[in-house]
A and B are shown apart, each in its own frame.
Chain A
Amino acid sequence: MTRKQKRATIIAIGMCFLAVAAALTFFALGQQTSYFYMPADVIAKPVAPGQRIRLGGLVEKGSIERMDGTHVKFAVTDGEHTVKVGYEGILPDLFREEQGVVTEGTFGPDGLFVADSVLAKHDENYMPREVADGLKEKGVWQESEGGSKNGG
């Protein structure tokens, strides 16, 4: 091979690899990203069963139900609407009534949101940012919500 051909070969191989990488990235961005919804968003533009989303809001007061085994059900609310969520596993330490939560999963055919991950805050000063923004838009956010509880 001449020098030119060698260089062309290297560049061609490199380009092929980059093309594959770009294709993979675009495909994965299309398939594997999940949009964030508040309960009101779910009512406004329904989500197809099986489509992966993240659902955030506050855990509705009195909605936590222990089912058989480690199965648990609760409702996520944004003050206007609520969505029922089912989850199997250990709930995070700071999972509580009327606290911010972000769940990720898909809607089942019966309209129950089946979560495979539940994230609460990991610090009492912190509210999941999407939830805080969403609640601010709805006007149910109180600044004092994140305040520290100890007297010092």
Chain B
Amino acid sequence: MAVELGHFALVLALALSIVQATVPLVGARVKSYQLMRVGETVAIAGFLLILVSFTTLVHGYIVSDFSILNVWENSHSAKPMLFKITGTWGNHEGSMLLWVMILAFFAAMVAVFGRNLPPSLRANVIAVQGMVAVAFLLFILFTSNPFTRIIPAPIEGKDLNPLLQDIGLAIHPPLLYLGYVGFSISFSFAVAALIEGRIDAAWARWVRPWTLLAWAFLTGGIAMGSYWAYYELGWGGFWFWDPVENASFLPWLAGTALLHSAIVMEKRSALKIWTVLLAILTFSLSLMGTFLVRSGVLTSVHAFATDPARGVFILIILLLFIGGSLALFGLRASSLTSGGLFHPISREGALVLNNLILSTCTATVLIGTLYPLLIEALTGEKISVGAPFFNLTFIPLVVPLLLAVPFGPLLAWKRGDLLGAAQRLQFAFGAVLVVMIGTYFFSDKTSTAAALGLGLGFWLIFGALTDIAFKAGVGKNSLSVVFSRLKGLPLSVFGTAFAHAGIGLTVIGLVSVTTLQIERIVLMKPNDVVEAGGYTLKFSGVTPFKGPNFTEDQARFDLTGPDGRRLGEIAAAKRLYPARGMPTTEAGIRTFGLSQLYVSIGEATPNGLVVHAWWKPRVTLIWIGALVMMFGGGLSLCDRRLRVGAPTRRKTAVEAEA
């Protein structure tokens, strides 16, 4: 019965979305305040209905109701409760329901927090959001209904893919979707502005916090997914340039560009047309990502089931929204007047450079991702574009951007002083030189790439510190004045510094692992010893272990540190999930400071067990950097100037000085 309730709520939500997509639009057209207000009520009600529907499905998973096809296919009564719940979005139908729920959530947020938006803009935004909801609710109800029953109900479920039975996967999809789908707000704002044919700095002030929120979630979602792949797949890799990973990385790149161009628009009324286009493109890339992942054109752990009808349906949605919004853009963009002039060497100029490079990077990653699909469609030949392509194109393109980052915040609006900025950065530069020389001479492998790469990471961090120090007047003022000025700095200045320093941390992690990691593949018999990064692993044997819904063979290793101290045991395992007859590899990971020792085992041969051990120096910085970026985004969100509806304080300490 509850299941039918959930199904019914979903159908009702579709009906409301149709109202949401049309009535406020008409209201804005005929300037009827009543009609415009309908959108808000409907958006909130629609979200609540989808929430009910989602909760019913979660309930079905919790009580293991195998009369629901979706639950039967993806759950098992012996599965731990946490994974029963998270299994709700570990499959195609459930994850699409989560997708739509988050979409409706954002529409409801606009309805609740957008009270002081101009009424017609708010009505249009909610209507556009409603259109996207209609499309995806239709998609769910017609091709991916999670509430389909099976009669008679089986006694036991088929279990969730064991790779997905993991805490990382509990968090990764919701975070990722909050990011992905969060960009729908920027999209709706852009389309609403085009419908109105009017756009100003206030528009950018509205769009920026939403974009920032989505961006921070997406950053976390991508980092979580990467960490999951790292420890769960047992290959020791954290990023494979897999098309599915690219599908989430593309909106991130475009969203990062959007974040920066919106600043120019807000502060200087310039780059209006470009910002609107970028807002459309960012969400289009999110939609394309959904298509790539959900249509089954790619095979990966994300492509749960392949059903051509679904692919075609999403493709139609994709063409409708991207085509429609771009056509509207073509028609209306010329009516948006562009504003403020600026010198190439200025804050605006730096942000334009950021946008130029980020959008070029987006384009190359997009080409690399779609090229194999295109070639296969045209010639039938199957090719793969892998990591070498992306490393060769993306890295050289993004390095100039990272080199330029510390200069940006130090340049003044309108006309900046490059020499002055360079002088302020001289301490940062000196510190970086010390780091590079130190790395070159003292790291275990004398690697030029490591020295240069670590230098780049520290350059970003020291650059961010320089920016704060300069704005607080370190060196020019007494300590107490510096402190009071630090307190007076807007939070967004710290947000910028943290986000930029976060990139630096991630770069340090990436460079350390790729250039300095130590890898060992050996055959081991009990009491054999392997050494990596100064740590010694002594194989003590294999013991069987029985978990709630799996059995495993644990290989245990005694760990000895570089100083000869015993550090306990590391266990790596081969696990078997009998419900699916599926084996998985469980890596043994031990963290030392920022670095990790990573052990994974292969099959047992007559000559011993295949053991793959890595020493991964500073690997955790890759994800810590992402967390710092998220934190920076959060700080900026708390900034009074960005807070939606807060009265704007135009003159702040920084701007007064600049």
Contacts and interface: CB of A to CB of B under 8 A. Distances in A.
Interface of A: 3, 6, 9-10, 13-14, 17-18, 20-21, 24-25, 27-29, 31-36, 54, 66, 68-70, 88-91, 93-94, 104, 122-124, 126, 128-130, 133, 148-150, 152
A32 B385 contact: yes
A55 to B, nearest CB: 12
Contacts of A24: 364, 392-393, 396-397
A17 B404 CA distance: 14
Nearest to B400: A17
Of A91, A94, A126, most buried by chain B (CB within 10 Å of CB) is A126
A86 B621 CA distance: 35
A94 B582 contact: yes
B381 A35 contact: yes
Contacts of B156: 152
20 contacts: A6-B344, A9-B344, A14-B356, A21-B364, A24-B364, A25-B367, A25-B368, A25-B393, A28-B388, A32-B385, A36-B382, A68-B607, A70-B522, A90-B521, A90-B600, A91-B603, A122-B163, A124-B580, A126-B299, A150-B580
Contacts of B580: 123-124, 148-150
A142 to B, nearest CB: 17
Contact of A28 (B343, B392, B602): B392
B583 A93 contact: yes
Contact of B583 (A10, A27, A94, A129): A94
A70 B360 contact: no
Given A34-B386, A94-B583, A122 B341 contact: no
B383 A128 contact: no
A20 B154 CA distance: 60
Interface size class on chain B is: 35 or more
- Classify the secondary structure of B's interface with A: mixed
Interface of B: 154-158, 161, 163, 234, 299, 301, 341, 343-344, 349, 352, 356-357, 360, 363-364, 367-368, 371-372, 381-386, 388-389, 392-393, 396-397, 521-523, 574, 578-585, 600-603, 605-607, 610, 612
A21 B397 contact: yes
A19 to B, nearest CB: 10
A8 to B, nearest CB: 10
A23 B384 CA distance: 20
Nearest to A27: B392
Given A32-B388, A66-B607, 19 more contacts: A10-B349, A14-B356, A21-B393, A25-B367, A29-B385, A32-B386, A32-B389, A32-B392, A33-B383, A33-B384, A34-B383, A36-B384, A70-B522, A70-B602, A90-B603, A91-B602, A93-B583, A129-B299, A133-B382
B264 to A, nearest CB: 14
A20 B394 CA distance: 12
B364 A25 contact: yes
Contact of A33 (B389, B397, B579): B389
B384 A34 contact: yes
Contact of A152 (B154, B349, B357, B383): B154
A118 B582 CA distance: 18
Nearest to A3: B341
A149 B403 CA distance: 54
Give the top 7 A-B pairs by smallest Cβ distance, nearest first: A90-B602, A36-B382, A32-B388, A32-B389, A28-B392, A93-B583, A129-B299
Of A33, A36, A54, A69, most buried by chain B (CB within 10 Å of CB) is A33
A94 B396 CA distance: 37
A90 B584 contact: no
B589 to A, nearest CB: 16
Nearest to B306: A129
A90 to B, nearest CB: 4
B390 to A, nearest CB: 8
Contacts of A10: 344, 349, 352
B382 A70 contact: no
B384 to A, nearest CB: 5
Contacts of B385: 29, 32-33
B403 to A, nearest CB: 13
Contact of B158 (A21, A33, A35, A148): A148
A54 B384 contact: yes
B97 to A, nearest CB: 22
B234 to A, nearest CB: 8
A68 B607 CA distance: 8
Contact of B393 (A28, A93, A126): A28
